[in-house]
């Protein structure tokens, strides 16, 4: 089994790395949050002091960080991955970032003789913990085949989309659908609440018909339970919606619904709710409908 380096041990990266350890892989890990590192070390990983050190001790490097600037810092920064890689290695970025950044990183690593994949995920914390993430992959066929046994530990629906950047384009499409569906569920349940009907029974009825969705099931229950502890934070989904909107602008594709959802998320951030789960979109709608819980 190949030696793996894992950089980024947050809400998603922590359980993903532990699943790899449980599958028998040897892991070297790094994160700026030392508590997260200690937690994964207790599960059997080895800690590194820098991203460069992670690369030096690994055959495959996986990154799972918040956004494009963090990926660039991990790769190009002082003591970064690019300083520690050697020809024949594989780099897998599982962050959600701009397609253009993925293509830039791909080219830089190619010059070092290193294959690179962009492999963003969907499924949230629940999917990360269960190892059932959907993984959308961009890069060469050979790199995908090499990575597949590793990806299969972390996900169940793993699709090779196309060349470098294709995985990130797919993730942008995914976040458009998820964001607009959360908006739809939030609007529907707020309408039910304002009408004075039983919101829980409305959700139950909708789940039995054509409106059924995983988001209505899971996030609808979050709304009922008033549980907005983050599985996926508003601020991160807003970042993803901005990636989708920028990609749309670059390609002259109007994304009107996405723009509305992004604006709603901006309002939540302005109210200081960026750390809440993205299902908290309902809180803004309830405020506007004057049915917010006191």
Catalytic residue positions, numbered: 171
Phi-psi region of 276 (alpha: psi -120 to 50; beta: other; left: phi over 0): beta
- Please answer whether residues 225 and 218 qualify as being in contact, where contact means their C-beta atoms are separated by less than 8 angstroms: no
Give Cα 171 to chain centroid, integer Å. Answer: 8
Q: Is the dihedral of CA 142, 57, 154, 101 positive or negative?
A: negative
Q: Which helix (H) or strand (E) holds 63?
A: strand 60-63
Q: What is the dihedral of CA 209, 212, 216, 217, to 10 degrees?
A: 90
Q: Longest Cα pair distance anywhere in the chain, in angstroms?
A: 64
* Beta-bridge partner residues of 133: 155
The token duo for 157 is: 């629906």
């Amino acid at each position: 089994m190949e030696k793996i380096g894992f950089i980024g041990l947050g809400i998603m990266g922590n359980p993903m790395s532990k699943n790899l350890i449980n599958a028998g892989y040897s892991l070297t890990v790094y994160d700026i949050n030392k508590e997260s590192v200690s937690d994964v070390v207790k599960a059997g990983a080895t800690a590194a002091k820098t991203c460069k050190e992670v690369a030096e001790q690994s055959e495959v490097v996986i990154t799972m960080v918040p956004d494009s600037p963090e990926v660039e810092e991990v790769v190009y920064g002082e003591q970064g991955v690019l300083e520690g890689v050697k020809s024949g290695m594989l780099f897998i970025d599982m962050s959600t970032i701009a397609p253009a950044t993925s293509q830039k990183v791909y080219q830089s690593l190619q010059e070092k003789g290193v294959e690179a994949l962009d492999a963003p995920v969907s499924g949230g914390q629940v999917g990360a913990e269960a190892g059932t993430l959907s993984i959308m992959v961009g890069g060469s066929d050979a790199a995908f085949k090499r990575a597949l046994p590793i990806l299969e530990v972390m996900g169940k629906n793993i699709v090779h989309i196309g060349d470098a950047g294709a995985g990130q384009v797919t993730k942008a499409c995914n976040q458009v659908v998820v964001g607009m569906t959360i908006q739809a569920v939030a609007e529907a349940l707020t309408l039910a609440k304002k009408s004075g009907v039983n919101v829980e029974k409305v959700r139950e009825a909708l789940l039995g018909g054509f409106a059924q969705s995983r988001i209505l099931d899971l996030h609808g229950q979050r709304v009922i339970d008033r549980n907005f502890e983050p599985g996926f934070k508003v601020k991160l989904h807003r970042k993803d919606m901005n990636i989708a909107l920028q990609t749309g602008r670059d390609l002259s594709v109007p994304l009107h619904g996405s723009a509305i959802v992004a604006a709603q998320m901006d309002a939540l951030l302005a109210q200081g709710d960026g750390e809440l789960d993205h299902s908290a979109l309902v809180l803004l709608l309830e405020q506007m409908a004057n049915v917010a819980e006191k």
